[in-house]
Amino acid sequence: MKIALLAPAGAMHRYSGNFGKSLHYAPLTLTTLAALVPEDIDAEVVIYDETAGKIPLDIDAELIGITCITGTAPRCYAYADYFRKQGKTVFLGGVHPSMLPDEAAQHADVVFTGFSEQTFPQFLHDYQRGEFQKFYHQNCDFSIVGRPIPRRELLNKKRYITINTVEAIRGCMHNCTFCAYPAAFGKHVYKRPVKEVVAEIEALHSKHVLFPDVNLITDRKYALELFQAMIPLNIIWMGLVTSSVGIDKEIMEVFRKSGCRGLLIGFESITQASQKYIHKGHNRVDNYIDLMERLHDNGILVQGCFAFGGDEEDTSVFDRTVEMVIKAKIDLPRYSILTPFPRTAYYDQLESEGRITERNWAMYDVQHVVYQPKLMTAEQLMEGTDRAWRNTYSTSSILKRLAPFTNSPWIAFPVNMGYKGYADKWHKFTREVMCDNSDIPVL
Instruction: Tell me the pLDDT tens digit for each residue of 363-372.
Output: 999 999 999 9
- The average pLDDT across 421-433 equals 91
Q: What pLDDT, on a 0 to 100 scale, did the predictor assign at position 247?
A: 75
Q: What pLDDT, on a 0 to 100 scale, did the predictor assign at position 198?
A: 98
- The average pLDDT across 435-442 equals 96
| Confidence band, pLDDT 50/70/90 cuts, at residue 384 | very high
Sheet holding 236-241, edge to edge: 208-210, 236-241, 260-268, 301-308, 332-337
Q: What's the rounded Cα separation, in Å, for the pair 185 and 170?
A: 10
Beta strand ranges found along 162-269 (DSSP E): 169-170, 190-191, 208-210, 236-241, 260-268
- The average pLDDT across 331-348 equals 94
What residues contact 172, with CB distance under 8 A and at least 6 apart? 179, 181, 182, 187, 189, 214, 215, 218
Beta-ladder partners of 356: 371
CA distances from 137 to 7, 148, 343 (A): 20, 20, 17
Q: What pLDDT, on a 0 to 100 scale, did the predictor assign at position 287?
A: 82
Of 18 and 438, the structure prediction assigns the larger pLDDT to 438
Q: What pLDDT, on a 0 to 100 scale, did the predictor assign at position 281?
A: 55
| Confidence band, pLDDT 50/70/90 cuts, at residue 409 | low
> What's the pTM value of the predicted model, to 2 decimals?
0.94
Pairing, β 2-7 against β 63-67: parallel
Q: What pLDDT, on a 0 to 100 scale, did the predictor assign at position 175?
A: 73
Q: What's the rounded Cα separation, in Å, for the pair 96 and 110?
A: 14
CA distances from 326 to 265, 269, 270, 401 (A): 16, 15, 13, 5
Q: Which helix (H) or strand (E) holds 137?
A: strand 135-137
Instruction: Answer yes or no: are the C-beta atoms of 349 and 371 closer than 8 Å.
Output: no
- The average pLDDT across 335-354 equals 95
- The average pLDDT across 11-36 equals 87
pLDDT digits (tens, 9 = 90+) for 30-60: 999 999 999 999 999 999 999 999 999 999 9
Q: Which amino acid is at 399?
A: L
Considering the chain, what is the average pLDDT of its residues? 92
Q: What pLDDT, on a 0 to 100 scale, did the predictor assign at position 407?
A: 58
| Confidence band, pLDDT 50/70/90 cuts, at residue 328 | very high
Closest CA to 123 of 114, 133, 115, 109: 133
Q: What's the rounded Cα separation, in Å, for the pair 231 and 286?
A: 32
pLDDT digits (tens, 9 = 90+) for 105-148: 999 999 999 999 999 999 999 999 999 999 999 998 999 999 99
